[in-house]
A = this chain, B = another copy of it.
Amino acid sequence: MENSRSGPTHLAEPGRHPDSDPSAFRIDSYLKQRAEFVERALDSVVASDGRPGAQLLEAMRYSLFAGGKRLRPILAIAACEAVGGDPADALGLACALEMIHTYSLIHDDLPCMDDDDLRRGRPTNHKVYGEAMATLAGDALLTDAFIVLARSHPNRASSAAVLDVVAELAQAAGSSGMVIGQALDILCEGKATDLATLEYLHARKTGALFLAAVRGGGLLGGGNPDQIDALTRYGRSIGLAFQVVDDVLDVEASADQLGKRTHKDDAHGKATYPALMGVAKSRQFARELKQRAIDALAAFDERARPLREIANFVVERSL
């Protein structure tokens, strides 16, 4: 495995693969290494080459390299590793996920959507490049994501499997996934929303991409149907847990800590878990979801340790 080179790039420190010494596993260094792995690939995939219109690439890179945690790509890689795959097998999907996530942030921040000026401590894309270029940068990141995935040629997955992952990723991001989630978010603004509606909305707005990450990573790593089923249950729980925690953070943290405007859900009249069930119950719910995610991985061996630790990380980062 040390010398395999499938995908846009390869691991710089393959010797520090988590299963080489399980007792030494540290989630913080795992997250850091995998994030760097993804960032090197993104840097070569979305590269400015000095051709006319360089401003578009600059706008794409501005938001892509704004310091995200790369959680979706890392989940794809961890799921790929959990079924015995090489991190590089999921690298095309990992890049595609982060590009799609970034496009969604750029478009969500536009004046006609959430109208946000600040994201990860910096001015939002349209504040720097203007609305037209921000819209186009989002469009390009979304579109280019499918080039990267379609050209990734993982070792352990057939072309048919990659094609399935393309379809699942598009489904997670499109009119029955992330986009309908954002549309519902806008349509529900200021209206009384119950828990069932909120869960329906979040399963699409954030959950679908988390699910595509872990299912896709498993498929590209050559996972069998039982493993993919387990990853599906893990992915559903972790996606919802992430959103519940995000809502709690929005209520509790200051803008300084999060690097974006906080309490904005409340200001926009958006339904949140803390608003509907209170902060204490929201925390408890997030911990239940974390446990469900970990339980779903019962049949996996030590290679699923990163996935288990990520579930813990996602929930405990705030609570």
A residues with CB within 8 A of B:
46, 51-53, 55-57, 60, 103, 107, 110, 112-113, 130-133, 135-136, 138-147, 150-151, 158-160, 162-164, 166-167, 169-171, 173-175, 179-180, 182-184, 186-187, 197, 200
Residues of B within 8 A of A197 (CB): 52
22 contacts between A and B (CB under 8 A): A51-B180, A52-B184, A53-B183, A56-B179, A56-B180, A107-B135, A107-B139, A110-B135, A112-B130, A113-B132, A133-B186, A136-B183, A140-B174, A142-B142, A143-B174, A146-B166, A146-B167, A146-B170, A147-B171, A151-B167, A159-B163, A163-B166
A44 CB, nearest partner CB in chain B, Å: 14
Q: Is A56's CB under 8 angstroms from B175's CB?
A: yes
Enumerate chain B residues within 8 angstroms of A139, measured Cβ to Cβ: 103, 107, 138-139, 142, 179
Asked if residues B186 and A174 are in contact (CB atoms below 8 Å), the reply is no
Q: Out of B136, B170, B187, which one reaches A144, CB within 8 Å? A: B170
* Chain B residue at smallest Cβ distance from A113: B132
